Amino acid sequence: MKKLAVGVMAIVALIGTPVLAADLNKPAYNPPPAPALVPVYNWTGWYVGGNIGYGWGVNTGSGYTSFNDVDIGGVAGFFANGGNVLPGVKPSGVIGGGQIGYDWQFAPLWVLGFVADIQASDMRDSATAAAPNIGNFTSITESNSARVDWFGTVRAKAGFVANNNWLIYGTGGLAYGHVHANTAFNDPSFDASLVPVTFTGATSDTKTGWTAGAGIEYALSPNWTVGAEYLYVDLGTISVTETQATGAATLASTFTSGSKFRDNIARLIINYKFGGY
């Protein structure tokens, strides 16, 4: 029995020797390196930046809203029969400026923040319309021009993070700006006397109103982001009253109109964010 056990052990040893030798000669298994971890972008922090874009306004409003016919005579009939043709205008042009703000990312894909900006503006428009010949009012023209000199906003932001580096947000708050309007009523043959009479008016004012819009922003690096933004800006209405500017007679009559400033703003933005990731 003892001899049988020794023989079995010898056979096992002979069989196992090549296997062990093969294992010793086999190269060691080295797993592939783990992929590098991509830093998760954090939108929390202060930022400053610049922007450039284009603004286009809605119609400022057409026609005179009222008149004071002290010594012209017949203005009511003239307006009632189609003479009130003061044209509305739509200021448009390039805008550009800068912004500063703060964002706070939480929960973990939501972002709240605030931003303030100030913009230079080349938004302007003008137009002239000819009135029909009615009674002694012949060859009348009525002119209107409006412009936005500058504007700014102070807004809240709320958005969510998509694919780590994208921020999609809505925004709204206070708007303010300086606007200007000019109007004119030109009568080349006042009361059939062939004496030209012109009434002109101009008003400029710093107005406050409201704004709302949306935007999208992309993080290029820990410190730089780019994006696009749309805002609707309502700066309210200014009133323009015309008085006599030229003519032989001195007239006390006046014409009054209102110009509303409601604008669409589309712009590209770039921001520098302090602090990185």
* 134 burial level (CB within 10 Å; 0-12, 13-18, 19+): middle
Q: What is the pLDDT of residue 23?
A: 47
CA–CA separation, 124 and 60 (whole Å): 11
CA separation, residue 209 to residues 11, 56, 152, 234 (Å): 98, 17, 10, 6
Q: What is the pLDDT of residue 277?
A: 64
Fold of 42-273: Porin (2.40.160)
Tens-digit pLDDT string for the chain (277 aa): 344 344 434 433 434 444 434 444 555 666 676 555 456 789 999 999 999 999 999 999 999 999 999 999 999 999 999 999 999 999 999 999 999 999 999 989 999 999 999 999 999 999 999 999 999 899 999 999 999 999 999 999 999 999 989 999 999 999 999 999 999 999 998 877 788 999 999 999 999 999 999 999 999 999 999 999 999 999 999 999 999 999 988 899 999 999 999 999 999 999 999 986 6
Helices (H), 85-206: none
CA–CA separation, 56 and 118 (whole Å): 17
Strands (E), the chain: 45-57, 66-68, 92-106, 110-130, 141-162, 166-187, 197-219, 224-246, 254-273
Q: Collect all residues with Cβ–Cβ distance below 8 Å to 211 and sequence separation of at least 6.
A: 153, 155, 172, 173, 174, 175, 231, 232, 233, 234
Q: Count CB atoms within 10 A of the CB of residue 200.
A: 17
Q: Count CB atoms within 10 A of the CB of residue 70.
A: 11
CA–CA separation, 145 and 228 (whole Å): 30
CA–CA separation, 146 and 55 (whole Å): 14
Exposure string for 249-264, b = 16+ CB within 10 A, e = fewer: eeeebbbebbbbbbbe
Strands (E), 34-165: 45-57, 66-68, 92-106, 110-130, 141-162
DSSP bridge pairs for 101: 47, 115
The answer to whether 175 and 208 are in contact (CB under 8 A) is yes
pTM summary value: 0.84
CA–CA separation, 142 and 86 (whole Å): 5
CA separation, residue 255 to residues 60, 117, 199 (Å): 17, 37, 8
Tokens of 215: 């935007």
The answer to whether 53 and 92 are in contact (CB under 8 A) is no
Longest CA–CA separation in the chain, Å: 149
